[in-house]
Amino acid sequence: MQLQILEVILWPKAAGLPPRRVPFEPGKVNVISGASKRGKSSVIPIVDYCLGSRLCAIPAGTIREACAWFGIRVQTSEGEKIFARREPGKQQSTDEMMLLEDSVLDVPTDTPKKNTTRQAVKHLLDRLAGLSNLGFDPEEPRSGFQGRPSFRDTLAFCFQPQNIVANPDVLYFRADTNEHREKVRTIFPYVLGATTAERLAKKWELENLLRELRRKKRERAAHDTVSATWLANLQVWVTEARELGLLRGDALEATEETLIVALEKVLAAGEEGNGFSAQGTGASADEYAALQTEESKIVLDLSVARHRLNQITAVRGTVGYYKGALDSQAARLGVSRWLRTLSNDGARCPICDSAMTSSSGELEQLCDALATIENETHTVSMAPPVLDRDLVDVKSKLSLLEDQLKAVRIRKRAIESRSKAIREGEQTSARVARFLGRVEQALELFSARSAPGGLNEELEKLNDSIEDLRKSLSEQQYALKLDAATARVSKDITRIAAKLDVERKDAPARLDIKELTVGVRDDAGREDFLWHLGSGANWLSYHVAAILALHVFFLRQLHSPVPALIIFDQPSQVYFPQRLTRPTAQSEEDDIGDEDVASIRRFFEAMGKLAAHFKGKLQIIVLDHAGPDVWDQLEAVSLAEEWRGNDYLVPKDWLDILE
618 in Cβ contact with 27 (< 8 Å): yes
Residue in 213, 147, 201 with CA at minimum distance from that of residue 469: 201
Chain centre to alpha carbon of residue 173 = 19
The string of pLDDT tens digits covering residues 141-196 is 555 667 788 999 999 999 999 999 999 999 999 998 888 899 999 999 999 998 88
Q: What is the pLDDT of residue 292?
A: 80
Q: Which stretch of 357-366, 373-382, 462-471, 527-536 has the lowest confidence by average pLDDT?
A: 357-366
Q: Which residues contact 325 (CB under 8 A, 6 or more apart)?
A: none
Query: How many whole angstroms separate alpha carbon 444 and alpha carbon 267?
Result: 12
Residue in 270, 240, 247, 263 with CA at minimum distance from that of residue 427: 270
CA distances, 149 to each of 125, 143, 160, 189, 385 (Å) = 12, 12, 21, 11, 12
Higher pLDDT, 438 or 527: 527
Q: What is the pLDDT of residue 374?
A: 75
41 in Cβ contact with 569 (< 8 Å): yes
Query: How many whole angstroms separate alpha carbon 632 and alpha carbon 621?
Result: 15
Q: Which helix (H) or strand (E) holds 138?
A: none
Amino acid at 524: A
Q: Quick one: 44 exposed, middle or buried, by C-beta within 10 A (0-12, 13-18, 19+)? A: buried
Amino acid at 205: E
Side-chain-side CA neighbours of residue 357 (13 Å): 2
Side-chain-side CA neighbours of residue 130 (13 Å): 26
* C-beta neighbour count of 284 within 10 angstroms: 18
**DSSP letter, residue 169:** S
User: Average pLDDT in the 553-566 region?
Assistant: 95
User: Average pLDDT in the 55-67 region?
Assistant: 93
- Radius of gyration of the chain from its Cα atoms, rounded to whole angstroms: 36
Q: Which stretch of 130-134, 426-430, 454-458, 591-595 has the lowest confidence by average pLDDT?
A: 426-430
Amino acid at 538: N
The string of pLDDT tens digits covering residues 82-134 is 999 999 998 889 999 999 999 999 999 999 999 999 999 999 999 999 998 78
Q: What is the pLDDT of residue 585?
A: 43
Q: What is the pLDDT of residue 107?
A: 94
* Helices 282-333 + 335-344 axis angle, to 10: 30
Q: Where are the alpha helices (DSSP H) in 86-229?
A: 118-129, 151-154, 178-191, 197-227
Q: Which stretch of 27-41, 206-220, 226-240, 405-419 has the lowest confidence by average pLDDT?
A: 226-240
What is the residue-averaged pLDDT of the chain? 82
Burial state string for 596-618 with b = 16 or more CB within 10 A and e = fewer than 16: bbebbbbbbbbbbbbbbebeeeb
Out of 129-143, 170-184, 536-550, 567-581, the most confident range is 536-550
Query: How many whole angstroms separate alpha carbon 281 and alpha carbon 500?
Result: 92
Query: How many whole angstroms separate alpha carbon 640 and alpha carbon 7?
Result: 10
517 in Cβ contact with 171 (< 8 Å): yes
Residue 477's pLDDT band, with cuts at 50, 70 and 90, is confident
Q: What is the pLDDT of residue 500?
A: 95
630 in Cβ contact with 601 (< 8 Å): yes
Out of 300-309, 319-328, 334-343, 446-455, the most confident range is 300-309
Q: What is the pLDDT of residue 356?
A: 60
Q: What is the pLDDT of residue 143?
A: 56
CA distances, 581 to each of 122, 234, 380, 586 (Å) = 37, 96, 50, 11
Q: What is the pLDDT of residue 246?
A: 77
The percentage of the chain sitting over the pLDDT mark of 90, rounded to a whole number, equals 42
Q: What is the pLDDT of residue 173?
A: 95
Q: What is the pLDDT of residue 25?
A: 97
Residue in 80, 68, 81 with CA at minimum distance from that of residue 110: 68
452 has pLDDT over 70: no
Q: What is the pLDDT of residue 75?
A: 97
Q: What is the pLDDT of residue 590?
A: 46
Q: What is the pLDDT of residue 586?
A: 44
Q: Which residues contact 306 (CB under 8 A, 6 or more apart)?
A: 398
Q: What is the pLDDT of residue 580?
A: 44
Three-state SS annotation for 556-614: HCCCCCCCCEEEEECHHHHCCCCHHHCCCHHHHCCCCCHHHHHHHHHHHHHHHHHHHHC
Q: What is the pLDDT of residue 277?
A: 39
Q: Tell me how many degrees the CA angle 373-374-378 measures, rounded to the nearest 5.
A: 115
Q: Which helix (H) or strand (E) holds 494?
A: helix 475-498
Query: How many whole angstroms separate alpha carbon 585 and alpha carbon 365?
Result: 50
529 in Cβ contact with 121 (< 8 Å): no
User: Average pLDDT in the 308-330 region?
Assistant: 77
Query: How many whole angstroms separate alpha carbon 394 and alpha carbon 396?
Result: 5
Query: How many whole angstroms separate alpha carbon 655 and alpha carbon 648?
Result: 10
Handedness of CA 485, 487, 488, 489 (dihedral sign): positive
| E-only strand ranges, 230-289 | none
518 has pLDDT over 80: yes
Query: How many whole angstroms separate alpha carbon 485 and alpha carbon 610?
Result: 19
Query: How many whole angstroms separate alpha carbon 483 and alpha carbon 189?
Result: 10
271 has pLDDT over 70: no
* C-beta neighbour count of 567 within 10 angstroms: 23
Q: Which residues contact 562 (CB under 8 A, 6 or more apart)?
A: 1, 129, 154, 157, 158, 191, 550, 551, 554
278 has pLDDT over 50: no
Q: What is the pLDDT of residue 581?
A: 39
SS3 of the chain: helix, strand, coil, percent, to 5: 55, 10, 30
Residue ranges of domains in the chain: 204-273+427-472, 307-389
The string of pLDDT tens digits covering residues 323-366 is 777 777 777 777 776 666 766 656 666 666 666 665 667 767 77
Q: Which helix (H) or strand (E) holds 621?
A: strand 619-624
User: Average pLDDT in the 558-578 region?
Assistant: 88
Strands 96-102 and 116-117: antiparallel
User: Average pLDDT in the 507-518 region?
Assistant: 95
Q: Which stretch of 72-76, 473-477, 509-513 has the lowest confidence by average pLDDT?
A: 473-477
Q: Where are the alpha helices (DSSP H) in 334-382?
A: 335-344, 360-381
Q: Which stretch of 507-521, 572-586, 602-616, 627-641 has the lowest confidence by average pLDDT?
A: 572-586
Query: How many whole angstroms separate alpha carbon 618 and alpha carbon 636?
Result: 11
Residue in 605, 607, 596, 503 with CA at minimum distance from that of residue 551: 607
Strands 29-34 and 619-624: parallel
Which pairs count as long-range contacts for 264-272, CB under 8 Å and 24+ apart, including other chains?
264/443, 266/241, 266/436, 266/439, 267/436, 267/439, 267/440, 267/443, 270/246, 270/424, 270/428, 270/432, 270/436, 271/420, 271/424
pTM: 0.69
The string of pLDDT tens digits covering residues 282-296 is 666 677 778 788 888
Q: What is the pLDDT of residue 295?
A: 84
Q: What is the pLDDT of residue 12?
A: 95
- Number of helices and strands (H, E) in the chain? 20, 14
Residue 386's pLDDT band, with cuts at 50, 70 and 90, is low
